[in-house]
Amino acid sequence: MDFELSEEQKAFRDEVVRFAQRELGEGLIERDRGNVFDAKAWQRCAEFGIQGLPIPKEYGGQEADPLTTMLAMEALGYGCSDNGLIFSLNAQMWACEIPILRFGTEEQKRKYLPGLCDGSMMAAHGMSEPNSGSDAFSLATKAELRGDTFILNGSKTFVTNAPVSDVFVVFATTDRSLGFAGLCAFILERDFPGFEVGEPIHKMGLRTSPMSELFFHDCEVPATNLLGKKGGGMALFNSAMEWERSCILASTVGSMERQLERSIAYARERKQYGQPIGKFQAVSHRIVDMKLRLDTARLLLYRLGWAMGKGKASALDSAIAKLHLSESFLQSSMDALQIHGGYGYMTEYELEREVRDAFGSRLYSGTSDIQRNIAARFLGL
């Protein structure tokens, strides 16, 4: 069993860290306060090649294998504390680019993927509705085929990137009585008749990642923009979610490493009662737990990346990884804040923001409870 990364992978990870530290995160405290997305940073990421990591070169991508892609996202998390920007990158890559790559026609791939890779276009994914969150397949948005056009009516909520996106992968049903067999996916463009992007939604965390609702009022979608087969929406959605659950939290491993290093340094220099606070078990044990969570999270992530590259990954693997990484990220973020005491609670120390950002990881891409349900099912329970 070889746990060693290749020299190329190590060098690439270091290169991504340097890029992130140099180019990303400018004015983050103010942007978080004002819910401001960093469009310039997004473009810098595109120029570096982040958005194109999992996409073949023929469509403008980098053609990186899953593990190398995860390493890049981990490095972003270490070098950049703008979790909102990284969340937006993940939202486009796994829930929009991958479905188009895996299920799109050749025309759709060539029309949309190069722009999504080079930053000239942004994409958003619309599945959740006001009355269907975890129960994704109970959605009410309706699609009716009239000639060579689908007419969509309904709405979506909690759509990451929607306020600034040009392209949207959305789901609707042609017949609710068919259940999942009536589910279809579509590629929408922002200027399609009857399509409206709502006002920005303000959140507890990940504030630099824009979000809004989508509304379809007799929205006209060309039949050529059906993504995948008619009635094939469930397979497409499940595929996208498996990729998303596997990769969306890779950056948190880098964030946890950064938090650990910062907490160790603070515990060594901060003195109370005549000695560094790291000498107190209440502090040192927290730091040891942070190290334990970091190492186990990294092992799960790398094992999953390796399995994906070999075609051996399962929904159980991705559910376990998503569950452990999200819970670990939140707890380590809270521990880092606690170690810094009153200073950690202050905005300028940028630790309270990470707690707010981390809490969302237990909710998006399937809550922690849903991940436990998935894992239990695979265990025969």
DSSP letter string, 209-270:
S-EEEEEEEEEEEEGGGEESSTT-HHHHHHHHHHHHHHHTTHHHHHHHHHHHHHHHHHHHH-
> For residue 296, what is the enclosing H or E element?
helix 281-309
Three-class SS string for 310-377?
CCCCCHHHHHHHHHHHHHHHHHHHHHHHHHCHHHHCCHHHCCHHHHHHHHHHHCCCCCHHHHHHHHHH
What is the distance in angstroms between the CA of the first residue and the CA of the last residue of the chain? 31
Say whether 244 is catalytic.
Answer: yes
Which tokens sit at 286?
A: 């927290």
Rounded to whole angstroms, how far apart are CA atoms 229 and 236?
A: 9
| Residue keyed to tokens 């107190």 | 280
Rounded to whole angstroms, how far apart are CA atoms 70 and 302?
A: 8
> For residue 304, what is the enclosing H or E element?
helix 281-309
Q: Which of 97, 213, 244, 354 is the catalytic position? A: 244
Q: Which value, in Å, is the radius of gyration of the alpha carbons in the chain?
A: 21
Q: Nearest to residue 322, comparing CAs of 376, 266, 243, 257?
A: 243
CA dihedral 58, 59, 64, 66 (to 10 degrees): -130
Active-site residue set: 244
